[in-house]
Amino acid sequence: MSSSPSSSSSSPPPTSGDSPPSNLPLKKIPGDYGLPFLGPIRDRYDYFYNQGKDEFFQSRIKKYNSTIFRTNMPPGPFNARNPKVIAVLDAVSFPVLFDTTKVEKKNVLDGTFFPSTAFTGGHRVCAYLDPSEPNHAVFKRWFLSLLAARHNKFIPLFQNSLSHLFANVEAELSKNGKADFNMLSDDTSFSFVFTLFCDRSPSDTKIGSDGSNLFTQWLFFQLAPLITLGLKDLPNFLEDFLLHTFPLPFFPVKSAYKRLYDGFYISTSKILDEAEKLGIQRDEACHNLVFMAGFNAYGGMKTLFPALIKWVATAGESLHRRLANEIRTVVESEGGVTFSALDKMSLLKSVVYEAMRIEPPVPFQYGKAKVDMVVHNHDAAYEIKKGEMIFGYQPFATKDGRVFENPEEFVGDRFVGDGEKLLKYVYWSNGRETDEPTAENKQCPAKDVVVLLARVLLVEFFLRYDTLTAEVRTLLLGSSVTITSLTKADSTG
């Protein structure tokens, strides 16, 4: 569904952050918050149960004839002290959330509530820091240096991980006639991330084979106020009370987190030595490393990889043949899967970007206005006051019908050729795809690594297989994919 009141295509809009065009009228932001306490609960029930996320926003866009409006965002009472937000749901206004001269990013990673620091060893880790806070740049530079030092490991290490993944998928298919891609992908993702930073397999530590489950438990208890289980036998009011009314405590996952922390602490002594040289306390450095590896890296891969396979699987055999042909031709001519080879696969790159556009791994962005400002969408300008919370639902911004033709459709070659000009409207990493992470911004430090791994996943898949079929559905943190068939390369079927 288009995130714009008018779904007709037009020329790409001006870059957000520029001064609004002089011909745009200045309007009052529509919408309201309802009665105290009752208004946020009403909106929470609409969001989770009565309407669902997409209809919640789409109905308000239609009601106010605006992609910028006031509303309450979950979880509301008693998890969030102030659930009031100004929603920006189009490609023009959304990037104001990336401008840290205009918005504050302190403690807004999860929105209008802030999980207990007990989940991170008593520390406010880098993801919750605003760039104006001194420690932010220190941690961000450390993260960027860690990734740069492992640059040459990304492809071969992930290839090895994928060999195990596909072998397990084939084994499950042979045994059960279908394979749960999410479960197998989660295990692969955790093992890759841990081995990348720790130079050993998690099975050689006290974490054993439980890493993905331990991280998932830890993530669930922090993000429970933002999800619904979708269980038909569980009454809505009971789920709402259990998940959304009060913060879930840390103690049920304390032992799980300790196993993760101890596994990283023991295995990353050299990395932690480097952190101490930068003035970071060893304990705080390790908690930040666990968060980056678990919340950012593993959490991102947990949502991205199933979404990528889902959209490729449902796109059909025509796209599969084109991808397989491009991948195999380039790999043969380049003599292997290299950075240079990946860069020459224009269709592959487009498919990955299109998956990130249509189903961004992180769907929400928040920022508190640092100054009075004027934000505009396609049709009007609106004044936002200092201290007001701004919220963006990313899938609406990246499916803006005034920017993208057929925005709800997965178009594999959307970003090939002249289509590359639209990459500046692909928002998925707390920034534009055309931007780069720095110590001074909030863009994901592993942004380019994520894109790389997604490309390698498809390359390794289509070097082995010609096509696939899958059953897909919506899960707690994204898409669920069950692979139902694989056709091996050079197979007669």
Residue pair 425/404 in contact (Cβ under 8 Å)? The answer is yes
Say if residue 155 is exposed, middle or buried (CB neighbours under 10 Å; 0-12, 13-18, 19+).
Answer: buried
How far apart, in whole angstroms, are the C-alpha atoms of residue 96 and residue 103? Answer: 8
Longest dimension (CA), the chain: 65
Of 302, 206, 193, the C-alpha closest to 258 is: 206
- Report whether 444 belongs to an annotated binding site: yes
| CA-to-CA dists, residue 194 to 155, 201, 247, 268, 454, angstroms | 15, 7, 29, 10, 18
Cβ neighbours, 10 Å, residue 491:
10
How far apart, in whole angstroms, are the C-alpha atoms of residue 21 and residue 241? Answer: 46
Cα dihedral across residues 135, 260, 436, 15: positive or negative: negative
Question: Where is the binding site for heme, in residues?
Answer: 444
Question: Where is the binding site, in residues?
Answer: 444
